[in-house]
Structure 1
Amino acid sequence: MPTGRTRADAGVAAPGGRVRRLPRNDPRQYDDLADEWWQPDGAFAMLHWLAQARAALVPPATRPGATLVDLGCGAGLLAPRLAGLGYRHVGVDLVRSALVRAAAHGVTPVNGDAGAVPLADGCADVVAAGEVLEHVPDWPRVVAEAARLLRPGGTLVLDTLNATALSRLLAVRVAELFPGVPRGIHDPRLFVDARELIRECARHGIALRVRGVRPAAWGTVRWLLRRAGVSLVGGDAPRIVPTWSAAVLYQGWGAKQG
């Protein structure tokens, strides 16, 4: 979820089918698409798949009252994937319409900027930063906040888009050609170089490991067909799988040194 705005106008479908012109990465796009959040085959379908993959990196809570702080939580898509792990789930986001939906799924909502979180130092056993770093104008500031929020030994988990020509091509120019993919959600100027992210995390005492991931091909094809109105029965649910290259989309995880 974004915490800042950049220019480069993009058309976004608003309620009632109308289209309004908004800058790329403008948070108001999420208000226009608010009803799509919990639609499995909706505009945010891939965020569901990524939430499942991100949750797989979250370790079970090791103490009573453990807290997971979810930066850029959106409508709380991570919440059902954390069931049984033992965390109080606190979600931080700028978009109030998304937080209303997150609260309905058991998330404690905090309206705020991921780069200036109104929570105490060391309050989190886990910080999740899923699909947020590529939406902020100052991602090192968000990394610093994540480290501040983490208690010693706490875990950071994240996923984001790499700052490569291939990523800009596939995640923006190609992706936005497909039906059902929101136009203007990403500003490619904000994508995050994986090597720089590793170095920045190290500065804050977090030894981040990264790996490339991608949507499973057949699941993605099935989703696109359903979005195009093709009726399909059965088949595997779409999911995110590891891949040999982190040049486009990648996950990161690591513990804060005590």
Structure 2
Amino acid sequence: MARNDPRQYDDLAAAWWRPAGPFALLHWLAAARAALIPPATAAGRILVDAGCGGGLLAPHVRAKGYRHIGVDLRRSGLRVAGPRGVTPVNGDVTALPLAARSADVVVAGEILEHVTDLPGTVAELCRVLRPGGLVVLDTVNDTAVSRLITVTLGERLGIAPAGLHDPALFVAPRTLVAEFARHDVALTVRGVRPSLPGLFRWLVLRRAVSGRGILPTFSTAILYQGTGRHSGAFPTGVSRAAA
């Protein structure tokens, strides 16, 4: 199977919610991502989770008070996400099957390093975001050290399933900031890293990690988060007359 083949997620579908399983790091990242999402300001606010997988963000979104819409290419993940409180939508993040300006928050967690059309994906994330709405994301930087840690060592140590990432798709922060700026979203990024005690507990002891698994760090060289609000202009491709 080729690198970054989405069919791998079908094979791993039963592991989404296994506390010390292959997706443990994604659970930590989901919690760190959720910390950047403010509580909903009114009933019925919508959060779109692009590339939601098995719905790891679900308990956090429920606690924040949003309606959680999860979009994913693989039905296997959506079948896991649905019972967790996610409204599942089968679709590609490069062509989200959602109305323009329909989301108060758009989340793209650990998905941008998997897409083959980054400009198209960013355009779609911004298209469905309401003016004033919030984007929250995390992804893998396009550096030699991130390729070493995420692919070479990460796969060897079991931090990531073998073949899950194609390093050619990793995304530099400056590239991502520029793409979002084209759609009136000013993105701010910061580096994050796994807790070293947490990594030891998971990789060596094979135990679930409680508490904060992901911590802020000064460097964006491997993993980084991003947040940004739509400036209030209409997303690219949406006319004021159509509003």
Question: Scaled by the length of structure 2, what TM-score is found?
Answer: 0.92
Residue type of the alignment partner of 1:247:
A
Matched, 1:193 2:172: yes
- Any idea what SS the aligned residue of 1:174 has? helix
Identify the residue that residue 5 of structure 2 maps to in structure 1.
26
Identify the residue that residue 219 of structure 2 maps to in structure 1.
245
Task: For 1:1-258, list aligned pairs within 5 A.
Answer: 22-179=1-158, 181-227=160-206, 236-237=210-211, 239-258=213-232
Deviations 1:200-244 (A, max 9, x none): 1111010100000000001111100133xxxx6x98546100011
Residue type of the alignment partner of 2:215:
V
Deviations 1:129-148 (A, max 9, x none): 00000001011211110110
- Quick one: distance in 2 between partners of 1:236 and 1:61? 26
Give the unaligned 5+ runs of structure 1: 1-21
Asked whether the 8 Å contact 1:223–1:238 carries over to 2, the reply is no
Q: Shift of the alpha carbon at 1:180?
A: 6.2
Residue type of the alignment partner of 1:239:
G
Residue type of the alignment partner of 1:76:
G
Identify the residue that residue 236 of structure 2 maps to in structure 1.
none
Asked whether the 8 Å contact 1:42–1:180 carries over to 2, the reply is no
- Quick one: distance in 1 between partners of 2:50 and 2:100? 15
Identify the residue that residue 239 of structure 2 maps to in structure 1.
none
Deviations 1:93-127 (A, max 9, x none): 01101000000101000000001001000000000
- Quick one: distance in 1 between partners of 2:209 and 2:88? 35
Asked whether the 8 Å contact 1:91–1:108 carries over to 2, the reply is yes
Deviations 1:26-68 (A, max 9, x none): 0111111111100010010000000000000111112321100
- Quick one: distance in 1 between partners of 2:36 and 2:132? 15
Runs of 4+ in 1 over 2 A off after TM superposition: 234-238
Greater mean deviation of Cα atoms: 175-184 or 39-48: 175-184
Deviations 1:160-204 (A, max 9, x none): 001111111111101111146310000000000100101111110
Give the unaligned 5+ runs of structure 2: 233-243
- Quick one: distance in 2 between partners of 1:98 and 1:235? 22
- Quick one: distance in 1 between partners of 2:181 and 2:192? 22
Asked whether the 8 Å contact 2:202–2:209 carries over to 1, the reply is no
- Any idea what SS the aligned residue of 1:102 has? helix
Asked whether the 8 Å contact 1:74–1:93 carries over to 2, the reply is yes
Identify the residue that residue 18 of structure 1 maps to in structure 2.
none
Asked whether the 8 Å contact 1:41–1:226 carries over to 2, the reply is no
CA spacing shift, 1:248–1:179, aligned 2, 3 Å = closer
CA spacing shift, 1:235–1:130, aligned 2, 3 Å = closer
